[in-house]
Amino acid sequence: MNKTARPAVRPYIGGNWKMNLRLASAVELAETIHADLSGDAGGPQLDPRIDVAVFPPSPYLMSVGRAMGHGPPSLGAQDLSPHDDGAYTGQVSAGMLDDLNARWVLVGHSERRHGLEEPPETLRAKLVRALESDLETVFCVGETLEERESGDAESTIVGQVRSGLEGLAAPTPERIVVAYEPVWAIGTGRTAHPDDAEEAHRWIRRTLGELYDREFAAATRVVYGGSVTASNAAELFRRPEIDGGLVGGASLKADSFAAICRAAEARLGQTSA
């Protein structure tokens, strides 16, 4: 794909808090991030052309949402049920997330895809439900170390994108973000080399183009996740194919998360018309 043909897209930064924090520390983190990004802390406001979301544990969604007011950042959930209502103990529906003012939801995070062995059909059902709802979706894909070392990274990633989206009507590109998160880079401190991340993002974008069309592929944000820090974010986000990041550990500290969000500001000069 001709990179110069891509339209300006809004950089996207997600902070996935996973199963961390307690209520008081989650609220405090949300308040501090909100104050920093909104300019209430005295510094400059984050450029509003950057989309930022945080994904707290579901029991804290309401309190964290209240702590951030109208944002930034916006509120996201780490998972959703493929069902609407009923006898599904422990699950949380799209409608419930909507009641809590969640705007975003993660689908297919590797800690569910691999860690909990959620099969592709389940992830697809969740993706369908998310796309049918008012939620905006971050669909996560990525290969294991074994798959990368055996030369299967491309087929794995392409297969995950296809099994999630094949046959579905094209979502509005603003309503879906694809996160490339190589399993071997998550929580390990071993960040993918920007060349390798870009190559994987091109595989994803090529597949989106095959499933839909070139315009959809160019307009859809593909972000990188896996040991993103305040120190390596700028180098990653400088790459034309990397539209932002999905951040785990470094999103649990307000200063490092805010620094990562600000590293995305440099993209605006590159990608805006």
Distance, CA of 171 to CA of 226 (rounded, Å): 26
* Cβ-based nearer residue to ligand 13P, 93 or 232: 232
Chain residue whose CB lies nearest ligand 13P: 248
Contact call for residues 191 and 226 (beta carbons, < 8 A): yes
What are the distances in angstroms from CA 109 to CA 7, 89, 96, 178? 27, 21, 20, 11
**Closest approach of Cβ 65 to ligand 13P, in Å?**
19
* Cβ-based nearer residue to ligand 13P, 218 or 250: 250
Q: Which residue is catalytic, options 109, 136, 143, 147?
A: 109
* Cβ-based nearer residue to ligand 13P, 74 or 227: 227
Residues 6+ apart with CB under 8 A from 193: none
Distance, CA of 116 to CA of 110 (rounded, Å): 8
Q: Which residue is catalytic, options 31, 181, 198, 241?
A: 181
**Closest approach of Cβ 244 to ligand 13P, in Å?**
12
Reply yes or no on whether 235 is catalytic. no
* Cβ-based nearer residue to ligand 13P, 57 or 249: 249
Distance, CA of 270 to CA of 190 (rounded, Å): 27
Which of 244, 231, 139 is CA-nearest to residue 197? Answer: 244
**Closest approach of Cβ 73 to ligand 13P, in Å?**
15
**Closest approach of Cβ 182 to ligand 13P, in Å?**
10
Using DSSP, state whether 235 is helix, strand or coil: helix
**Closest approach of Cβ 34 to ligand 13P, in Å?**
20
Dihedral pair phi/psi, residue 171, rounded to 5°? -70, 165
Reply yes or no on whether 109 is catalytic. yes
For residues 171, 116, 204 and 207, what is the CA-based torsion angle, rounded to 10 degrees? -70
Contact positions vs ligand 13P (CB under 6 A)? 16, 109, 181, 186-187, 225-228, 246-250
* Cβ-based nearer residue to ligand 13P, 108 or 173: 108
Catalytic residues: 109, 181
